[in-house]
Structure 1
Amino acid sequence: MLIPRRVLLAAALSLGALQAQAAVAPQALVAPITDYKLYVLDNLEQFTEHTRAFTDAVKAGDLDRAQALYAPSRVYYERIEPIAELFADLDASIDAREDDYEHGVQDPTFTGFHRLEYGLFHERSTDGMDVYAERLMSDVNDLEQRVQDLTFPPEAVVGGAAALMEEVAATKVSGEEDRYSHTDLWDFQGNLDGSKKIFELVKPLVEQDDPAFVARIESNFAALEDTLANYHLSEGDASKGFQTYDKVSERDRRALVGPVTVLAEELSTLRGMLGLD
């Protein structure tokens, strides 16, 4: 796949200002940031496609299909949240939870996946969901268009590796995010995928100076992936889905907190190592 010249130029321009302070040469970051943008665009394309199928099912009144497509659609968004969250208006419209609104699910401004989740899994109905499905699809299309010409801030990309794992610790392990569908492990996997991708892209820039750090990170990622594999519906295949989170014991949930927190703390040092603080 050819990398568009405008993508390379945008990445180079955004890195130029960092030359005086960067721990690595600014041009060394051009390739990983460019590759990350391609990763985000690929996931956005799939996110848009899956969301269209999901919202079409909602509008068709097909409750079973809409429920089945809810989590597989969201996983693409969870992978790219460090970039999606740069557009605060769309992130709120697409992914806010009822806690963010004074009147909860009754608030007329509460939209997005979690408003649909409430209707599909709590009320077990598609009645009245058309308007939310249409708004979600519009927001996702808008997000895809905005990202096309976005210059990715290197500090947001590199910092996103830790931010994604911090989000797992804050909202996934507790089960609060997908409280009606109990599909939290899908989101957990998406955040883990996105964090690992960022790390893998910048790993060559830190591996020579601190191979022990890289080894610890890789070991922690592997351990978390092994833990998630225990909940696969089809052994060794995350794409087939996960056991619902309400079936994960409180003890097992607590056991996840430590490894996730340690990984997040380790990854939080990446920005400083690359001179991006």
Structure 2
Amino acid sequence: MGSSEKDAGIATPSRLIPFALAGSALLVVAAAGLFYYASQTATGPERGDIYKVKVADSTCEPADLTVPAGRATFEISNASTHPIEWEILDGVYVVEERENIAPGFHSLLTAKLLPGSYEITCGLLSNPRGTLTVIPSEQSEAERAQPPITAFIGPLSEYKVFLIGQSTALVNATEKLSEAINAGDLDAARAAWHAARLPYKRMEAVSNRIADLENAIDPLSDYLEQRENDAGFIGFHRIEYGLFGQNSIVGLAPVADTLLANVTELKTRLRQIKLLPQDLADSAQREAARLSESQIASGENRWSFSDLAEIEANLDGMEKSVTLILPLAGNADPAIAQRVVDDLAAARSTLASFKNGDAYPAYDSVDAAARGKIAAAFQALADAISALNPAIGLG
């Protein structure tokens, strides 16, 4: 450097580096602080009255709530030491839920509730449940008087046939899984496990609302006190842990036999289930939102990493149910129907962008930014589907 530059007081790059590093460190700290503050205080969209529920290690506070029928928003705060899910249950049927709420954090859940008595889960599956009493309101009484919508007979019947077909495929694939495990064939068992997951995921928007079977067929170790060592860790993910995590079929035969019994019972329940017209859109909207808000970010298959194929199967099921009512929506509001069509295609295109030929990569190779892209596509789809029922007069 010439003397004229030194005289002008121009700093050399080496003299600037410490200042740049210090500034970068301050920005990182500030960003982390803002993220923490936002995560603690963000409330998101709110509809209806807000009811606060704090989930401790063994109970909900309050454990008993009474609310009027209609839309209500629940703010669920996790004051326990475990990640939690919070559910509203009508018998064994999941009305609404929030998953994977981390300790010290809270989440909002908005539900449209009909009059009746419900249960609420309080953190771990082993914890006592609370009660939610929903009393009639002016809105609920008006909706109760609405006549049936005969235009939904065909779509509901076709969707029921779809559920029966997928549940039959699930039972058949689970039989092969059980046979492979009992025969000691690890490779065949792994292939059968993957095959059984796809029909299960295609109807998960409905089947995961049958709480007792969901907790027997597909419980995650995250929600169990002793995780993989918990006696309640059974079903698909217990078998996944053995086949892919431990590379072994030892001890899996009774688990597979129990799983087969449970998916057979699920097939029976789905044959008997009574679906309402609004369920076709609502179930798909809830599933898209659930994936976007929690599962896509965290992943579900911790040992097989086959999440992308299963998310695609979820999308297949959502597309089936909403496509059945798109003609009705198109007559009522073509713009809303077209938005659903476009967002279905966008979600599928987003998933396809990760394929290498016909195969998806292992999910642990998909970074946070890529998962965020997938989640955004499913959130857009959930938002689009949420406009279907109001467009066709179902509120």
Q: TM-score, normalised by structure 1?
A: 0.85
1:261 correspondence with 2:379: yes
Q: 1:120 to 1:93 in 2, by over 3 A?
A: same
Give CA deviations for 1:91-133 in whole Å, capped at 9, x if unaligned: 1100110112111111112211011111111111111111111
Is the contact between residue 299 and residue 363 of structure 2 (CA under 8 Å) also seen in structure 1? Answer: no
2:368 is matched with which residue? 250
**Displacement after TM superposition at 1:19 (Å):** 7.9
**5 Å matches for 1:162-173?**
162-173=285-296
**Displacement after TM superposition at 1:18 (Å):** 7.0
1:174 is matched with which residue? 297
2:331 is matched with which residue? 208
> Which structure shows the bigger proportion of residues in strand conformation?
2
2:389 is matched with which residue? 271
Q: 1:75 to 1:219 in 2, by over 3 A?
A: same
**In the aligned structure 1, how far is the partner of 2:187 from the partner of 2:193?**
10
Is the contact between residue 293 and residue 375 of structure 2 (CA under 8 Å) also seen in structure 1? Answer: no
1:31 correspondence with 2:154: yes
Total equivalences in the alignment:
254
Q: Match of 2:297, SS?
A: coil
Q: 1:86 to 1:154 in 2, by over 3 A?
A: farther
**Displacement after TM superposition at 1:276 (Å):** 3.5
1:134 is matched with which residue? 257
> Which structure shows the bigger proportion of residues in helix conformation?
1
Q: Match of 2:309, SS?
A: helix
Match of 1:223 among 334, 337, 346: 346
**In the aligned structure 2, how far is the partner of 1:171 from the partner of 1:114?**
17
Q: TM-score, normalised by structure 2?
A: 0.61
**In the aligned structure 2, how far is the partner of 1:82 from the partner of 1:259?**
17
Q: Cα RMSD (Å) of the superposition?
A: 2.0
Q: Which has the higher contact order (CA 8 A, sep 6+)?
A: 1
Q: Structure 2 unaligned runs (5+)?
A: 1-141
Q: 1:175 to 1:261 in 2, by over 3 A?
A: same
**Displacement after TM superposition at 1:90 (Å):** 0.7
**5 Å matches for 1:1-277?**
20-21=145-146, 26-235=149-358, 241-277=359-395
**What letter matches 1:268 in structure 2?**
S
**Displacement after TM superposition at 1:172 (Å):** 3.5
**What letter matches 1:51 in structure 2?**
T
**What letter matches 1:46 in structure 2?**
A
**Displacement after TM superposition at 1:86 (Å):** 3.6
**In the aligned structure 1, how far is the partner of 2:343 from the partner of 2:150?**
29
**Displacement after TM superposition at 1:230 (Å):** 2.7
Is the contact between residue 175 and residue 245 of structure 1 (CA under 8 Å) also seen in structure 2? Answer: no
Q: 1:66 to 1:18 in 2, by over 3 A?
A: farther
2:53 is matched with which residue? none
**In the aligned structure 1, how far is the partner of 2:283 from the partner of 2:177?**
27
Q: 1:198 to 1:252 in 2, by over 3 A?
A: same
1:9 is matched with which residue? none
Is the contact between residue 58 and residue 126 of structure 1 (CA under 8 Å) also seen in structure 2? Answer: yes
2:96 is matched with which residue? none
